Amino acid sequence: LRFYDPEMQALASSRAQLEADIRKALTRGEFVLYYQPIVDENRKITGVEALLRWLHPQRGVISPGDFISVAEQSDLILPLGAWVLEAACAQLVKWAAGAKTQELSIAVNVSTRQFRQPEFVDDVAALLKATGANPQKLKLELTESLLVHDVEDAVRKMQELRALGVRFSLDDFGTGYSSLSYLKRLPLSHLKIDQTFVRDVLLDPNDAAIARIIVNLAQSLDLGVVAEGVETEGQLVFLVRLGCKFFQGYLFGRPVPVDQLILD
Ligand code: C2E
Ligand code: MG
Ligand code: MG
């Protein structure tokens, strides 16, 4: 029995086209990292998150929302993720030489598929060694989807990297499946409150309650907490009152190419 659905066919072929385009873009050097500040309560920059952009020769700047999921559904996320880690480490090495930049950390998003590779730990260790980047300044952002399968493997990998000095944040926290017992076992340094809760934190009592629970949870597990997507002074004041210590969002700076980062 066969089904023919023109819409599905179009979707499948546009996906194949996109995959081919991503592959080409990698060899042509069309990917670039933008950086968004992560600040403390005094609005002092403590680090950045590296956010991937595709500088498409015809379509201009393309955001990861338009291509990351396709890359994640194929093995393309592996070379792409490796490129991101390499570019971030190279940036850390450059920053290590500057008085204004040497304290900055870089947070890199790691997709679950990438993290699940048996070689992931060895690859990161080799990259740190080859580039000379300070592992203490590298943070890996993982999502809760990682915890759906084989938590033991995740814990072991994280511990191995943690032993090298690499730190971990749990991204988009509150949107996934975290079980509190797993959370306690993971060697995390930060939770990132998902921006969907921050957006309406002043309007929706449920979102405010979730933000408060995440901050309290982080405090009792002795983890740092970063609020994502902070856009207004009001949100900032509210989050500071909850006890949140780190902030990221348009209020402090959009993701920009490295030479446009404002560092003081
Ligand atoms: P994320 O890691 O949760 O990154 C935060 C997203 O929120 C970024 O979107 C950022 O531009 C956006 N954002 C920051 N501040 C604000 C704000 O104040 N308001 C609003 N409305 N949005 C804000 P972006 O750069 O489009 O990235 C989207 C997602 O793509 C990221 O979410 C991350 O999951 C993924 N991604 C980005 N770069 C990479 C990468 O190198 N590798 C992998 N695997 N995924 C990546
Ligand atoms: Mg992230
Ligand atoms: Mg996030």
How many whole angstroms from 118 Cα to the centroid of ligand 2?
22
CB atoms within 10 A of CB 231: 14
pLDDT of residue 142: 96
CA of 230, closest atom in ligand 1: 18
Residues, Cβ < 5 Å to ion ligand 2: 109, 141, 171
pLDDT of residue 95: 98
pLDDT of residue 191: 97
How many whole angstroms from 168 Cα to the centroid of ligand 3?
13
Distance CA(92)–CA(138), nearest Å, equals 8
Output the CA angle 70-75-77, nearest 5 degrees: 65
Whether ligand 1 lies within 6 angstroms of the CB of 255 is answered as: yes
The number of angstroms, rounded, from the C-alpha of 192 to the middle of its chain's C-alpha atoms is 10
pLDDT of residue 154: 95
Distance CA(171)–CA(168), nearest Å, equals 9
pLDDT of residue 219: 96
Distance CA(71)–CA(46), nearest Å, equals 30
pLDDT of residue 2: 57
C-alpha closest to that of 21 among 67, 81, 61, 63: 67
pLDDT of residue 13: 74
Substitution candidate for ligand 1 out of 228, 230, 239, 252 with most atoms within 8 A of CB = 228
Whether ligand 1 lies within 6 angstroms of the CB of 69 is answered as: no
Contacts of 152 (CB under 8 A, 6+ apart): none
Q: Which two tokens stand for residue 93?
A: 């090495």
User: What is the b/e burial string over 9-25, where b = at least 16 CB atoms within 10 angstroms of the residue's CB?
Assistant: eeeeeeeeebbebbeeb
Whether ligand 1 lies within 6 angstroms of the CB of 85 is answered as: no
E strand segments, the chain: 31-39, 45-56, 60-62, 105-109, 138-143, 167-173, 190-193, 224-227, 246-247, 256-257
Beta carbons of 102 and 93 less than 8 angstroms apart = no
pLDDT of residue 28: 97
CB atoms within 10 A of CB 151: 15
Q: Per-residue pLDDT tens, the chain, 264 aa: give them.
A: 555 677 767 767 788 999 999 999 999 999 999 999 999 999 999 999 999 999 999 999 999 999 999 999 999 999 999 999 999 999 999 999 999 999 999 999 999 999 999 999 999 999 999 999 999 999 999 999 888 888 999 999 999 999 999 999 999 998 887 778 888 889 999 999 999 999 999 999 999 999 999 999 999 999 999 999 999 999 999 999 999 999 999 999 999 999 999 987
Q: Which two tokens stand for residue 16?
A: 């194949």
If you take atom 8 of ligand 1, which residue's CA is the nearest one?
Answer: 51
Whether ligand 1 lies within 6 angstroms of the CB of 200 is answered as: no
If you take atom 41 of ligand 1, which residue's CA is the nearest one?
Answer: 52
The pTM of the full predicted model, rounded to 2 decimals, is 0.95
CA of 231, closest atom in ligand 1: 18
